[in-house]
Homo-oligomer: A and B are copies of this chain.
Amino acid sequence: MGGGDAWEPVQRVRTYEQVMHQIEQRILDGKLRAGDKLPSERDLSASLGISRASLREALRVLEALGIIEIRSGAGPEGGAVLVDSPGDGFVNLLKLQLALAHFDQNDVLETRVALETWSCWEAAYRANEADFTELAAILDRMDDDSITAAEFNTLDAAFHVRIADATGNALIAHMMGSLRTAIQRRMVDVYATLADWRETAKTVRSEHREILRALIDRDGDRAASLVRFHITSFYTNNNLGGLLT
C-alpha cells in the first residue's frame, strides 16, 4: 500500500529457489507433469547455467518436500521423477516445527478438531458402503486383544484418516495423516506411560463404534460432535498436555 516511490529491500534469491520456481512454472504451463522425469543432472545444470552442486541442493529440497523421487542408477531407470501424490514433506516439516515449539500440543489438538469435525460432518453424507465396510474392518482389528500399543495406535490413526478419505478431500486427508504421523512416536510414548493402556483402549474402541454408527445413520451433526468429544477427552483424560509436545 501507499508510497510507490519508497526503496524496497533487495531480496536475496537462492539458486535453489530459482530452480524450484522454474520447475513450478513449467508444471503450471503444462510442460511438466506428475510422472515426468527431469533431464539428467548434467543436462539440467547446463540448461540452468548452474553448477551440479547447486542443482543437487535444489533436487534435495524437492526430494525432502516429496515433490520428486530420485531413483539411483544410470540409464532409463535412474533420475528424478515428479511424484503423483503427496509424500512426507509436510510430516518432515511439522516434526521440526513441533520440536522447535513453533506450535504446541494444544494447537495440534485443535487443528485435529477442526479437520476431523469437518470430515465427520461431510463423511456422513459422502461416504459409501465400501467406506463403511473398511472402517468397520479397522475397528474389528482394533478389537484384537493381542495387538501392541503401537499397533493399536497405527490402527487408531488409520480409522481417523480413513474417515477423511471418505470425504474425497485429498488435502484434508493428507493434513490429518501428516499430523498423526508427526505426533505418532510421542502418542506411543504416552500409551506407555498409562497405568493400563488397555483400559484406555476400551474407551477408544467404544467411541469409535459410536462415530461409525453416526456416519452410517447419515447423522453429520452427531458424528461431528462425537469426534470432537473423542479427541478432546482423550487428551484431557490422559493428561497429555505436557507429554505431546
- Whether the pair A20, B92 counts as a contact (CB closer than 8 A) is yes
Q: Does A210 contact B (CB under 8 A)?
A: no
Known: A57-B60, A93-B65, A170-B107. Contact between A113 and B118, CB under 8 A?
yes
Q: Are A93 and B93 in contact (CB under 8 A)?
A: yes
Q: Given the complex, which residues of B lie within 8 Å of A61, measured CB to CB?
A: 60-61, 64
Task: Tell me which of B82, B84, B99, B111 contacts A169 (CB under 8 A).
Answer: B111
Q: Which residue of B lies closest to A60 (CB)?
A: B57
Asked if residues B97 and A67 are in contact (CB atoms below 8 Å), the reply is: yes
| Residue of B27, B106, B108, B175 touching A100 (CB-CB under 8 A) | B27
How big is the A interface, by class? Answer: 35 or more
A169: chain B residues at CB < 8 Å are 106-107, 110-111
Task: Tell me the bound Cα distance from A31 to B185 in angstroms.
Answer: 20
Is A102 within 8 A of B170, CB to CB?
Answer: yes
- In this assembly, does A115 line the interface, its C-beta being within 8 Å of a C-beta of chain B? yes
Residues of chain A having any CB pair with chain B under 8 Å: 1, 14, 16-17, 20, 23-24, 27-28, 33-34, 53, 56-58, 60-67, 82-86, 89-90, 92-93, 95-97, 99-104, 106-108, 110-111, 113-115, 117-119, 122, 141, 147, 151, 167, 169-172, 174-175
**Contact call B65/A172, Cβ cutoff below 8 A:** no
A111-B16 contact in complex given A57-B56, A64-B65, A102-B86, C-beta closer than 8 Å = no
The answer to whether B57 and A27 have CB atoms under 8 Å apart is no
Q: Is the CB of B1 within 8 A of A151?
A: yes
Interface contact A102-B89, CB-CB below 8 Å: no
Can you add 16 more A-B contacts, CB < 8 Å, to A1-B147, A114-B172? A14-B60, A20-B64, A27-B99, A33-B101, A34-B100, A64-B65, A65-B93, A67-B93, A86-B102, A107-B170, A110-B167, A111-B115, A113-B118, A114-B115, A114-B119, A117-B118
* Set of chain B residues within 8 Å of A103, measured between Cβ atoms: 86, 170-171, 174
The minimal Cβ–Cβ distance linking A232 to chain B, given in whole angstroms, is 13
Rounded to whole angstroms, the CA-CA distance of A171 and B94 in the bound complex is 10
Most buried by B among A1, A16, A62, A117: A1
Pick the contact of A90: B33, B86, B90, B101 (CB < 8 A).
B90
Query: What are 20 A-B contacts with C-beta separation under 8 Å?
Result: A1-B147, A16-B60, A20-B64, A20-B92, A23-B96, A24-B95, A33-B101, A53-B53, A53-B56, A57-B57, A57-B60, A60-B60, A65-B96, A102-B170, A111-B115, A111-B172, A114-B114, A114-B119, A118-B118, A175-B175
